Structure formats: C-alpha cells, structure tokens
Amino acid sequence: MVRKSLFAVLCYSVKITYHNISSYHIIYIMLDILSFLPHKRKQTNSGWISFNAVCCTHNGESQDKRGRGGVILSNTDDWSYHCFNCNFKTRFQLGKPVSVNTRKLLGWLGV
C-alpha cells in the first residue's frame, strides 16, 4: 500500500543583512502534514483521517476526545481540515497563499 502524504509548502520572507546591505529572500519549507497529526488516528472509508481535534479548546469548546477532527486529501497536493465539534475549517492548496486558519492549525499541531 502506497502512503499518500499531505504536503504543505510554507513561504517565509527573510531579511538578510550583510555588510550593511539588506536583501529579502523567500524561503519555502515543504512538510508532511501526516507526520504532525496525533498518533491515535484512523482512516475512514470515505478518505478522512480522523483524530482528536486540536482546535476545539482554541475556539471555546471543550477538548475533543471522540476523534471529531479530520483531514482529507483533495488531490495530490491539496488537503482540507474540518472539526466536526467546533466547526473549524481550513484548507491548503499548493500554489496559493497559506490562509490564517491554516497557519493557526499548523501552529496547534506544533509545526
């Protein structure tokens, strides 16, 4: 069985100063989202990877203990996250800017 990876490409602008000359460089970081998901997870028949949601406590709900957070692969490079408890949603599409909600989710996952 081939393991599909859910990749995110993070883009950072970094200011580098050398001999009083400043320049800005864009750094791209590619990471495998699956490696940051909680270890206790399962995959449903419809393709969702379900685990205890990490967003609920940040959105005014109690901690999820029933596996109501999920990630699904949209195609080879895109993915979506949905919490079926607090209704937090976000998605990542390769080539598009990383949204505020995606940055929040990645932070909550420890990226």
Q: Which of 109, 99, 95, 100 is nearest to 32 (CA)?
A: 109
Q: Could you read off the pLDDT tens digit of each residue along the chain, which spans 111 residues?
A: 344 444 455 555 555 666 666 665 544 455 567 777 778 889 888 888 899 998 998 988 888 888 889 988 877 678 889 999 999 999 888 778 888 898 898 888 887
